Structure 1
């Protein structure tokens, strides 16, 4: 799952990263009613992007997430 916000360059970078690797995901827009609250309740943050892989998640800039995403995706493949 990928929590995003419209116009967010880091959200677009994570989306592109996942698509380039053939990873399917459900995208949730944090500006839609209730979605930011859902993200806060589940992951403790309301900011985008939040990337969820299995039971793990990461958030912050794409640069902050990339190393963890590389490891998480290797683990699930």
Structure 2
């Protein structure tokens, strides 16, 4: 599972999203949109207007979404169970 969080500094929703993924132990990549103008422009052209923007494989959402993060946790648990790894 590949997780990318497009974030910016001093963003409470961004911080909450990263903390939630940290609690899951899920590895993720952070792209700071204040220092990556190409990423910012790409997100804006795609219609995104708030941070964070979270991509999990082919799924995506904006803002702090505990419901979507719980879905990722379930998917991670299913993958761990299927591979015989204890979660």
Listed as ranges, the gaps of 5+ residues in structure 2 are: 80-87
Listed as ranges, the gaps of 5+ residues in structure 1 are: none
- Quick one: distance in 2 between partners of 1:67 and 1:16? 14
Q: How many residues align?
A: 73
- Quick one: distance in 2 between partners of 1:47 and 1:34? 16
2:10 alignment partner in structure 1:
7
| Candidates 59, 63, 66, aligned match of 2:62 | 59
Query: How far did 1:69 drift?
Result: 1.9
1:40 alignment partner in structure 2:
44
1:73 alignment partner in structure 2:
73
Describe the SS at the equivalent of 2:34.
coil
Change (3 A) 1:36 1:46: farther
TM-score by length of 1: 0.80
Larger radius of gyration: 2
What's the Cα RMSD here? 1.6
TM-score by length of 2: 0.72
Asked whether the 8 Å contact 2:21–2:69 carries over to 1, the reply is: no
